[in-house]
Amino acid sequence: MRTEVINYLVSAPLHSYNFSRELPFEEGGTPLYLKNPKTIYVDDVNKEVSQLFATLNGDSIHLETSTVTVFFSNDAKNTPANYDDLIEYLVKGKDLGTSQGFNDRNVDVSTDIDGDLQVTTVEYQYTKLR
C-alpha cells in the first residue's frame, strides 16, 4: 500500500510543499520531517493480522489491517495557504486500494506542535478479510 500512497501523492497539489520517497527515519535523533519542514514523507506499511473467528474444520478467518502513515511539518505560526487543500486531498487517499479487496478504509488526521513546527500525521488504515 505504500507504493499506492506514494503514487497518489506524486499527483497531489503540493504547491509550497515537497515530496520525498525516503522513509521518515531519524537522523541524529530527529525525524526527517522535522529537519525538513514542508516535505512530505510516507512510512513503511505496518500489517496486523488478527483472528476474527475459527471454523469447525480448523480453518480461521482473519482480519488483516495495513496501516500507512504520512508525516510532514510546517511553520506553526504561518500555515501555508494550501494546507487545508492538501489535507482534503490526503483524506481522499483513504479510497485507494479498491482493487486489493479491502472491506474497510479509514483515515485519521492529527496535528501536534513541536517547537515552532506544526506536525501533521495522516494515518491510513486498509482492512480486509483473509
pLDDT digits (tens, 9 = 90+) for 41-74: 999 999 999 888 887 777 888 899 999 999 999 9
Q: What does the radius of gyration of the chain's CA atoms come to, in whole angstroms?
A: 17
Phi, then psi, of 47 in degrees rounded to 5: -105, 140
Q: Read off the pLDDT of each residue in 3-27 and give the average, rounded to a whole number.
A: 90
Single pTM value for the model: 0.88
Please report the pLDDT score of residue 14 as a whole number: 87
Q: Look at residues 45, 7, 21 and name the one whose alpha carbon lies nearest to residue 125.
A: 45
Please report the pLDDT score of residue 29 as a whole number: 87
Identify whether the C-beta of residue 91 lies closer than 8 Å to the C-beta of residue 120: no
Cell match 519542514: residue?
Answer: 37
Q: How far apart are CA 14 and CA 4, in angstroms?
A: 17
- Please, what is the average pLDDT of the chain? 91
Instruction: Work out the pLDDT band at 109, boundaries 50, 70, 90.
Output: very high
Please report the pLDDT score of residue 120 as a whole number: 97
Please report the pLDDT score of residue 101 as a whole number: 78
Give percent of the chain above pLDDT 90: 66
